């Protein structure tokens, strides 16, 4: 995650999203004394996360993140993970929209 510059990853079975794991989840797991080499992702991920459609607009996604307190929002279409939008992604899009 760090090398790729990602703050979260979708956890999938096939192409179906089953959870999300974030940097915060990993830090919490280490702080709790879990061994990252021997701990299953399913132990520390957030299962069945809230998701958004690619048809939703940037403002809707931003409002959802603010209201829910999330920093990452999986985007799903036809049950498959397309990507994860971050607070930073939305901020960049909103600033570009105002230019």
Domain with residue 88: its CATH number is 3.10.580.10
Q: Quote the number of domains for the chain.
A: 1
45 has a pLDDT exceeding 90: yes
The CA R_g of the chain, rounded to the nearest whole Å, is 14
Q: How confident is the model over 57-69, as a mean pLDDT?
A: 91
Residue 16 predicted with pLDDT over 90: no
Give yes or no for residue 36 having a pLDDT over 90.
Answer: no
Residue 3: inside a domain: no
Mean pLDDT across the chain, nearest whole number? 90
Structural domain including 65 reads 8-98
* Cross-strand pairs, 46: 20
Planar angle of CA 29, 31, 35, nearest 5 degrees = 55
Q: Are 21 and 45 in contact (CB under 8 A)?
A: yes
């Amino acid at each position: 995650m760090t090398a790729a510059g990602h703050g979260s990853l979708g956890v999938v079975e096939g192409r179906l999203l089953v959870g999300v794991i974030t940097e915060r989840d990993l830090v919490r797991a280490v702080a709790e004394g879990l061994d990252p080499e021997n701990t299953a992702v399913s132990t520390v991920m957030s299962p069945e996360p809230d998701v958004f459609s690619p048809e939703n607009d940037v403002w809707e996604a931003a409002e959802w993140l603010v209201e829910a307190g999330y920093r990452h929002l999986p985007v799903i279409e036809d049950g498959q993970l397309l990507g994860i939008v971050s607070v930073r992604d939305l901020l960049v899009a909103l600033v570009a929209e105002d230019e």
